[in-house]
Amino acid sequence: MDYQTYYPLGGSMKFKFLMCCTLIAFITGCVSTDKLVTKQQTQGYNTVAFVQLPANESGDYFAMQNYAQTAKNNGAELVIFPESSAFGWLNPDVFSNANPIPGDSQQNFSNIAMSVGIWVAAGLAEQGQALPDNSGEHFAYDSGILVNPQGDVVLHHRKYQVLNNAFTLENCPEYFQQQGSCQYSVGNVSDIEAVDTPFGRTSLLVCADAYTYDLTALTAVKELEPDFVIVPWGVGASQQSECGQDGFNATQYAAKAAQFIGSAYVAGANAIGERPYGRFRPAIYCGNSGYANPDGSVGGVANSQDIIVYFDIPVKN
């Protein structure tokens, strides 16, 4: 495969320095490998950008807009961000600070889509119902959205397959501590839908909803006969050396999901870096973003270091 490398926008002297490095990289060797973005060049397909957002940049909309702009500049029609890109997965702040959809967090992604002129898919926490203890805090969903370049939310999904008691209990609101368990609220499978987009008939899931150990959400998608399924991932491991292996590779999960659905390309972005919240730590996000073909084969998979990776994905007629 033919690959090219680029640097994401930074809007700083560092960015100017990196641009100079790019121009003379092959002479001086000054390319910094920690910020490389990789583009697979293929003719005739939609280019999709997968942002492997560093965990410490969750909620940094300036950084995400720069990544989206870089993606657009390099020919991408769609940019995908990971699960929980607004707060970080298992951040207990979601119970007090998450917004409804529509709301401020969703609007931030809509603003990125409009200002850049690109389709945006992202995972984000969503405010649920008020907690029954009148504390002013709320339940929260682990949600995903797909936004068109006009800023309209065309798909909105609340994760169904949530992990029970995954938050660090003592950091959760008093209500959850009294219950002895703290987790996201469960979404409704009946809300899963498919819409027509430039990428074909498109559906949206969030992370574990695309795992095949529980086929509830995948079955709902399969019945819609989509052409393209987007998944903001949050796949991690206890140590970096496990990343890429079976069970710690987002695109392997995508391949299994695609094989079950049978009609769709399945594409998703996963974060990189250390997960700062929740139980079961230390934990590292593994990257390995990419896509799978409808027959269950892997179409393209990233490593665990690059922040932006591009793959050209066929559009089904």
**pLDDT for 285-303, tens place per residue?**
999 999 999 999 999 999 9
| DSSP code string of 52-116 | --BGGGTT-HHHHHHHHHHHHHTT-SEEE--TTTTT-TT-TTHHHHPPPSSSHHHHHHHHHHHHH
Residue 26 has pLDDT above 80, yes or no: no
Phi, psi for 255 (deg, rounded to 5): -65, -40
pLDDT surpassing 70 at residue 56? yes
State the average pLDDT for the chain: 89
| pLDDT (mean) for 154-168 | 97
Amino acid at 208: A
pLDDT surpassing 50 at residue 48: yes
Query: Which region among 16-25, 38-47, 138-147 has the lowest average model confidence (pLDDT)?
Result: 16-25
Asked whether 31 and 18 are in contact (CB, 8 A), the reply is: no
Domain ranges for the chain? 33-313
Quick one: pLDDT band at residue 316, thresholds 50, 70, 90?
Answer: confident
pLDDT for residue 307: 98
- Overall average pLDDT of the 300-307 stretch: 97
User: What average pLDDT does range 49-76 have in this prediction?
Assistant: 98
Query: What's the confidence (pLDDT) of residue 6?
Result: 33
Percent of the chain with pLDDT over 90: 85
pLDDT bin (cut points 50, 70, 90) of residue 317 is low
The C-alpha atoms of residue 92 and residue 55 are separated, in whole angstroms, by 15
> pLDDT class for 25, splitting at 50, 70, 90?
very low
Q: Is the pLDDT of residue 21 over 80?
A: no
pLDDT at position 144:
98
- For residue 275, what are its two tokens? 């997960």
Lowest model confidence (mean pLDDT) among 27-36, 129-138, 235-244: 27-36
More confident residue, 34 or 153: 153
Q: What is the pLDDT of residues 97-149, one digit of tens each?
A: 999 999 999 999 999 999 999 999 999 999 999 999 999 999 999 999 999 99
33 CB-contact burial (10 Å; exposed 0-12 / middle 13-18 / buried 19+):
exposed
The arithmetic mean of pLDDT across residues 149-172, rounded, is 97
User: What is the rounded average pLDDT of the residues 81-88?
Assistant: 98
**CATH annotation of 33-313:** 3.60.110.10
- Compute the distance between CA of residue 226 and CA of residue 201 in angstroms, rounded to an integer: 5
